Amino acid sequence: MIWVLHGSCRWWSKDTVAIVTGANKGIGLSMVKRFAELGVTVILTARDTKRGLKAVESLMAQGLHVHFFRLDVSDPDSVKTFVSWFRLKFGALDILVNNAAVSFNEIDENSVEHAETVIKTNFYGPKLLTEALLPLFRLSPSTSRILNITSRLGHFDKLRNPKIRSIISDEEKLSEEQIDNMVSLFLSNVKQGTWKSQGWPEIWTDYSVSKIALNAYSKLLAKQNQGCGLSVNCYCPGFTQTSMTRGRGTHTADDAAAIGALLALLPPQELPTGKFYIAHSNLSNKREALRLGLRVLKFRSFEVHLENVRLKAHQNKVIFLEDGWGFAFW
């Protein structure tokens, strides 16, 4: 599956700088590859130096040049070291893709044994890195972008506790303190062994809570930076064949990353903020998309081609491609 951005909407150049976390494999590596193919200067990060360098070598073998620096988003010292290196090496940032994440469950399991690690990596990691990099965003007329790789398991309706769901869903009153309080309450319930009866998500509970927190934080950050030249959005790549899914899924990491890169590189005039994108690889998901209240992203001067098949907007608020691929946002 090859996505081609129409030449008339190309706003970036080799001077455009992107960072992708957790990029030694899977969607992260595929995102780095796609950015490099499109001429973006991209930094591949990974917490394991050996694996990170191996990933860089694999891209170099394909004629692609990328930069590498070790980064463990769950380690404040690692984040500090990375940001210092980046400031000296590049000075300014245009695109940040927070992709690094972990889950310790098999597809059909639901243990919270590693809940603290999951929350620390999937929520507090991206939050820590984002806040450390905020002063370095270029905030150019093209608009700087943050794309947080998330999951539909992080949709707010997964919270079965109506009080918590109401607080997190209230965009007008939502605060960083409220998000932190939700996470702290969850971890407290885990320690007390009461998490099953407190209305937390029923599937991949710790992972789901981490993504709910990330999605809420993304909306808050988008609101705080409205009109400041920084766009903040979330992207769920769907059921993708990665190590996290043990190779199971409806599509490949390259497929998911192609759409992710597309969203990260939207033309300035078409770029929203505070939105949640979800990719679908089957039209049967249309009903679920509508149930979640997804809205269409209306293109004007922007064209996308998939093997010469133009992106088509259908009614009922969801964009779909002729081959069944689609995405939307709420």
Active site residues: 207
Q: Which residue has the tokens 């595929």?
A: 30
Instruction: Centre a 10 Å sphere on the Cβ of residue 48 and count the other Cβ atoms it contains.
Output: 13
Q: How far apart, in whole angstroms, are the C-alpha atoms of residue 250 and residue 51?
A: 26
Contact by Cβ (8 Å): 39, 13? yes
Pairing verdict, β 251-252 and 95-98: unpaired
Q: How far apart, in whole angstroms, are the C-alpha atoms of residue 53 and residue 34?
A: 18
Of 42, 45, 91, 90, the closest CA to residue 65 belongs to: 42
Q: Which residue has the tokens 């009866």?
A: 197
Contacts of residue 169, Cβ cutoff 8 Å, sequence gap at least 6: 156
Label residue 272 exposed, middle or buried (CB < 10 Å: 0-12, 13-18, 19+). Answer: middle
| N- to C-terminal Cα separation, the chain | 25
